[in-house]
Amino acid sequence: MQGLTGIEAAAFLEKYGRNELVERKDHPIVKIAKWLISPISLMLFLATVLSFGTGKLFDGYFIIFLIFVNAGVTIWQEAKADHAIEELKEHFRTQTRALRDGSWAPIDSVLLVPGDVIMLEVGNIVPADVTVLEETNFTINEASVTGESLPVEKANGTEAYSGTFVVTGRATAVVKQTGSLTYFGKTLKAGEGIEKRSILEADILRISFFLSALSLTAVVILSIALWLAKAPFLDTLTLDLSLVIAGIPISLPTVMTLIISLGVVELAKKHAVVRRISSLEDLANVNMLLSDKTGTLTRNLIAIERVIAYSVPEDDVLRAAFLAAEEEDHDPINTAIRQKATEHHIDVSGYARERFIPADSTRKRSTTIVSRDGAHIGIEIGAPQVILELGRTDDPEGFLRDVGAAAEGGFRAVAVAMGKVGDGNSERPRIIGILLLSDELRQDTKETLDFLETQGVAVSIVTGDHRAIAERVGGEVGIPKERIHSEVLPKDKLDLVRASIEKGYVVASTGDGINDLPALKTANVGIAVSNAVDALKSTADIILLELGLGVIKDAIIESRKIFQRLWSYSIYRISESFRLIITITILGLIYHTYPLVPVQLILLALLNDLPIISLSYDRVRLAGRPAHINTKDRILRSTLFGTVGVMNSMLLFFLLTHFTSLSWDVIQSIFFLKLTISGHLLIYLAHTEERWWRFLPSTQVIAATTLTQLAGTIIAGLGLFMARTPIVWIIFVWGWAFIWMQIGEWTKTIGRKHIPTPASAA
């Protein structure tokens, strides 16, 4: 056997590149550019240009500040996730024994090239696509490629794929393909170019376009009216700018991102890493979960499910199998036998193992010779057909029926036979039993799946395993046959995700192997389980740090909390913008001016959005079903709140201008204070479907809104950036806002029949 020389390896490395999968990533500058040319950013830049064009430098610089804060938060979150994945890759880098320059030595797996001869032993991950040259009892777990849970025998001349791992035996192999040319790499490439926009991102754009359209319509109406009234051009432009600032939700993406980011931090404490933060909002809407089986619903650990005994007690079958289970052998079947025998307290004292011949691809059985009281006993364990040919049984047809029933039930059958050997007393071994093997379910699987079903999430099994095995697992966890998909290839799983999405489902898909990658990238939410391969973790939306699906329960709950908080904020934001846009338009048409100067608008926007960040910690009601963005309901609720705001704003302004002798500057200050207080009180209304006093916001929200209301009161009372407001009018405005808050509360009864009532608090 001859490997490569160091010179040959260096030349091939230059030709083929390193044995690694290079993920296509945008340069940070490209990421920033994409964000800056997004529709929301372009609208904000328009507001900035208008500010500078009318000499409102403070306004212009303030909007620019908000733009880059929003961009910075988004890019920072993505950078943190990418950095975590890079650290993960470094942690899992492996070394492989390779034959270089005539001697075996460990080398970094990324330096392997086609033509390298390598050594593979128990526990090794196959670092590239290879062809087996020489093997001894060599089996591979290919679950990460095919989904098959049981080990696969590999004879000389057969191929083993990158990402699989050695279960038993050892082998020398020659590297055939590395990096992106491996089966692993080609599957990864199949997932490239799949782009998806989250429900959150689509919703932010929907709100932004709605408010922008409303604002621009008002701008056109007001501009025409002022032009006909021969108002000065700069005054008209200033009014237009006011409407743009009031209508475009400048801080909407920032506030929503912060709400989600803080939710992500909470979820990380519960052992889940979120790579795409907006995917949590998508998860709140998921009503279809496509779950792989091996290693997710099951432990990917072979166990003895049942023992069928013939003419002897079950413990005798286990005792014989236990005696034949070599302790030094890492074969999963032997491990399962030892585990089962330990559970049954099988006693093998008095027996001595004399000889052990391991199973291989030719014999398909293991042979063990044991002795007791001077007698020698041979024990054979292996494939039922092989043991039947070798041994004897009183009912061969019954034996074959049991084997067939085991296969139909989704079990792998292993036969056990024993008989005397040596001293001329050798006999054909007698078949004493069958061991039924299965991939053991995780303890929390049934509970988690039951929880998901009660939350309105339909769960389907998607596996590469045989139909019988998949149906057995599905039956144990209560999944109907029509939602069990077996013997699935990567393209089948991808097609299944696409078909589910086309039917209107919001789809989450779990996976652990490279075969799952295209499906995970296409699904609304791609979830990599804890034992997933690195490439899957680097592209999934959510990575679970604990085995199984249990942590998905926390992810579902947290995502729905976040959704409810975002829902409350969106109602508040639309209502506020609607109130300001309509008020500005009407007052502009009547007075040919606007009751707030630009700096008051900016302060109002700032004071309104600061306490909104506290909604990340708000109390919410969980509905017990997938969240759903009902645009009609939201517009109805927001319009009702906004209409009440317009009515009380117009009425107050009319009273101030017609029944008081206050100066215009003082009226502006009073009106600024009224808008600030009313806006914050609206948070209490939008936060719950119940009466606001029956389900108050969290302590954090109450504290934040109180502080900002006090800040607005102090600014108006001291005359900071504006005329000073008399104390009597401050008291009047507080009372006025509170009374109209109750009128806003009454409007909930109008829309209540359209809006579902949540079920539980969290």
Residues acting as catalytic residues: 292
Residue 542: strand pairing partners: 274, 527
**Inter-residue contact 724 to 717 (CB < 8 Å):** yes
CB atoms under 10 Å from CB of 286, counted, come to 30
CA distance 181 to 748: 60
H and E: helices and strands count for the chain: 26, 22
189 and 24 Cβ atoms separated by less than 8 Å: no
Query: The tokens of 645 are what?
Result: 């705001």
HSE value, Cβ hemisphere, 13 Å, CA-based, for 266: 17
Separation in Å, CA 315 to CA 356, 381, 462, 614, 628: 21, 16, 36, 63, 56
Contact 376, 355 (CB under 8 A): no
Residue 747 DSSP SS3:
coil
Q: How many residues in total does the chain contain?
A: 762
Tell the residue number behind the tokens 């898909």, with chain if given: 509
Dist. CA 531–CA 733, nearest whole Å:
60
Listed residue (173, 171, 169, 172) closest to 366, CA to CA: 169
The answer to whether the CB of 287 falls within 8 A of the CB of 506 is yes
Q: Which helix (H) or strand (E) holds 625?
A: none
Sequence letter at residue 468: A
Nearest one of 479, 480, 481 to 467, comparing CA atoms: 481
Which residue type is seen at 674? K
Which long-range CB contacts under 8 A does 318-321 form with residues at least 24 apart? 318/344, 318/346, 319/346, 319/347, 319/348, 320/379, 320/416, 320/418, 320/432, 320/433, 321/379, 321/381, 321/416, 321/435
Rounded to the nearest 5°, which phi and psi values hold at 545?
-100, -5
